[in-house]
């Protein structure tokens, strides 16, 4: 079994300081939270950016500023910008951070109801377009799937040559409108991907730590962070992303699963070497 890759989603686009005062908005707050998560054991920082007032943005220059600040403090951490953005953004707005020298990004693999009237739109042509842009720019895509149909679409596009190996899936479970995060859901998705593919789990809210433990036990990888869950345990707010990462590290120790460094994570996922001295 490979070492465990921990991703930390430090802020997201929707969680606010009203939910948890430790959600970062400013460049300095983002860099500090990323550094704390990296020190605790996160190999990958999943990155949304905000304006200083907390408004989500996909602005390329804001990403540049935040990525530069994180790189200055976190050595070789893998920085994974989101191309999901926020509900209602168009393709090219969402793709702005891929115009920077980055090594990895998310690729959302299907449309989903996000509660109320919100619909997170990812058409088949959107997915093909995003995949092509990432291929041209040598960016490794993390294939975010919120339900089984998204997995099936990825595999069809892979057979057709629009998505390329190595395949790394991210099962995002517990979103309203998507699959729940019960044990059966985890196993259904895990058993639906090719044997040579890798995967991680993203449990939303109460599903974060139960899914993390399942992934640890069954050879998958784990994402935690204030984007997905603001509590360390029921009723107890996490005092930053570090505590969420530390809880997964402790869980992994109990199961005898060592934690992967960023260098080891790149090898496990089949990523290319990345020059961190590239100028932003």
Q: What percent of the chain has pLDDT over 90?
A: 92
236-248 pLDDT, tens per residue?
Answer: 999 999 999 999 9
Report d(CA 241, CA 267) in Å as an integer: 25
Angle between helices 27-40 and 60-74 (to 10 degrees): 40
pLDDT of residue 278 exceeding 80, the answer is no
Alpha carbon of residue 223 to chain centroid: 6
Check whether 279 has a pLDDT greater than 70. no
Residue bearing the bigger pLDDT, 58 or 277: 58
Whole-number Cα distances in Å, 116 to 42, 119, 123, 274: 33, 8, 20, 41
pLDDT in tens, 34-60: 999 999 999 999 999 999 999 999 999
Rounded distance, CA 197 to CA 187, Å? 15
pLDDT band at 280 (very low <50, low <70, confident <90, very high): low
Whether 90 and 126 have beta carbons less than 8 Å apart is answered as no
What one-character DSSP code corresponds to residue 41?
Answer: T
Q: Is the pLDDT of residue 277 over 70?
A: no
Domains and CATH numbers, the chain: 6-269 (3.20.20.70)
For the cut 60, the answer to whether the pLDDT of residue 120 exceeds it is yes
Residue closest to 111 by CA, chosen among 170, 55, 153: 153
Is pLDDT of 10 > 60? yes
Q: What is the pLDDT of residue 25?
A: 98
Report the chain's mean pLDDT, rounded to a whole number: 96
- Is 78 buried (19+), middle (13-18) or exposed (0-12) by CB count in 10 A? buried
Q: What is the pLDDT of residues 138-195, one digit of tens each?
A: 999 999 999 999 999 999 999 999 999 999 999 999 998 899 999 999 999 999 999 9
Alpha carbon distance, N-terminus to C-terminus of the chain: 36
> CB neighbours (10 Å) of residue 277?
7
Name the residue with higher pLDDT: 32 or 274: 32
The tokens of 34 are what? 């990323």
Is this prediction's pTM over 0.95? yes
Give the E-state strand segments of 48-137 in sequence order: 49-50, 56-57, 78-81, 104-108, 112-113, 119-120
Report the pLDDT averaged over residues 79-85: 95
Q: What is the pLDDT of residue 84?
A: 92
For CA atoms 229, 233, 239, 240, give the dihedral sign: negative
């Amino acid at each position: 079994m490979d070492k465990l890759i921990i991703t930390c989603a430090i802020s997201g686009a929707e969680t606010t300081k009203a939910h948890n005062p430790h959600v970062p908005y400013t460049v300095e707050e983002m860099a500090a939270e990323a550094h704390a998560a990296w020190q605790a054991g996160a190999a990958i920082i999943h990155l949304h950016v905000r304006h200083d007032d907390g408004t989500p943005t996909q602005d390329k220059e804001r990403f540049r500023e935040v990525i530069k600040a994180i790189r200055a403090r976190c050595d070789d951490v893998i920085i994974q910008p989101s191309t999901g953005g926020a509900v209602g953004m168009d393709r090219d707005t969402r793709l702005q951070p891929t115009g920077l020298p980055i090594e990895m990004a998310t690729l959302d693999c299907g449309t989903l109801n996000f509660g109320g009237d919100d619909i997170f739109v990812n058409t088949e042509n959107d997915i093909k377009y995003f995949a092509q842009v990432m291929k041209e720019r040598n960016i490794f895509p993390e294939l975010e799937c919120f339900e089984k149909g998204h997995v099936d679409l990825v595999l069809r596009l892979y057979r057709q040559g629009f998505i390329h190996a190595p395949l790394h899936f991210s099962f995002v479970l517990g979103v309203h409108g998507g699959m729940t995060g019960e044990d059966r859901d985890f196993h259904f998705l895990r058993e639906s991907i090719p044997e040579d593919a890798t995967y991680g789990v993203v449990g939303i809210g109460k599903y974060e730590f139960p899914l993390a433990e399942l992934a640890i036990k069954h050879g998958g990888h784990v994402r935690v962070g204030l984007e997905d869950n603001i509590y360390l345990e029921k009723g107890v707010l996490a005092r930053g992303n570090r505590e969420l990462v530390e809880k997964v590290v402790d869980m992994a120790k109990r199961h005898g699963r060592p934690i992967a460094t960023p260098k080891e994570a790149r090898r496990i996922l089949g990523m290319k070497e990345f020059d961190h001295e590239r100028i932003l």
